[in-house]
Amino acid sequence: MAGSYDDRDGKIWMDGTLVDWRDANVHILSHAMHYASSVFEGERAYNGKIFKSRLHSERLIRSGALIDMPISQSVDEIEAAKAAVMAANGLTDAYIRVLAWRGAGEDMGVASARNPVRMAVSAWEWGNYYGDAKTKGAKLDISKWKRPSPETIPCEAKAAGLYMICTMSKHAAEAKGCSDAMMFDYRGYVAEATGANMFFVKDGEVHTPLADCFLNGLTRQTVIGMLKEKGIKVTERHIMPEELEGFEQCWLTGTAAEVTPVGQIGDYNFEVGAMARDISDSYEKLVRL
C-alpha cells in the first residue's frame, strides 16, 4: 500500500460499520480538529495476531477516561473491530491504528461534553519505522522541547495533544539528517524519543528512564521483562544528561519502532552491540510466537 493516506483502497471501521477507505471522513467542526480531544493506539500484527492487543484496547479506554472522554465501546467490541478490519483488508502483518475522538455536536468551545465520542480502526502494511537503523543504529538529535510535568498534562494517556512537541522535535531532527530526537523532561532528566522509550547499557547492566512523566510503553514493559528473564539487571531511574557519555549501547522501544538500536544522540556515539542486537532479535521472535 502506497500513496496518500486518504486515497487508498480498503476498508476502515467507523462507529460500528466498515466503510470504504476514501469515505472515512469527519466534519471540519469535529471537536478533536480544534482542541485535540482524541486518544489513540498504535499496534502491530504478526502472522495474523495483534501483539498485546487487549492491553492496547484497555489502555485506549483508560486514556479516554484520563482526558474526560468516556469511550462507550468495551474491550471485546474494540477487539472485534480490529479483527474485522484485518479480515476486510486481507492483512496478516500490519500496523493497526485505533482512534477515539470528540466529534461534531452541540459544543464548539473548549467544553465538549455534549458531543459524541466516536471511534475508528484502520490498518495497513508498514515496514521498519526507522528504515535500516536496526542494523546501522538510528541517529538522534536532542530536542529543545521537554516532556512536561504530570501536573500539567495526563501523561499516562496516549492522547493526540501530547504529541505536538514530538512532531516539532522530529521535524527539526529530520532537517538535520537524523531519524528522531531525544527529549529531556521538565526537570532536565533524559526522558524518551518522540514516539519511543529509551534504554542504555553500561558494564553489562541496563538503565532506562523512570516513566514518571511520560508514557510507560507496552513494548518498554515487555522488553524489561525479557531482559530480567535473561538475568540482566535493569534499573529504572532518573538519568542525567552527562551520563550519556558513559553509556556503551542504546536502543529504542515502541510498537512502531519495535526494538531499534541507536548509534548516535547529538555528539554522543554508541555501539550497536551484542546486547542491543540480542534483545532486538529476541523481540522479533517473541512477537511471532
135 backbone dihedrals φ, ψ, rounded to 5°: -105, -35
Which residue's entry shows cell 459524541?
116
CA quadruple 109, 116, 26, 79: dihedral, nearest 10: 140
Indicate which residues carry an active-site annotation: 158
Helices and strands, number each (H, E), in the chain? 7, 15
| Pairing label, strands 190-193, 197-202 | unpaired
Helix (H) or strand (E) holding 204: none
Can you tell me the distance from the alpha carbon of 50 to that of 190, in angstroms, rounded to the nearest whole number? 31
Cell digits of residue 267 = 555528539
Which residue's entry shows cell 508498514?
126
Give me the count of residues in the chain.
289
Helix (H) or strand (E) holding 263: strand 258-265
Cell digits of residue 223 = 522488553
Which residue's entry shows cell 486481507?
90
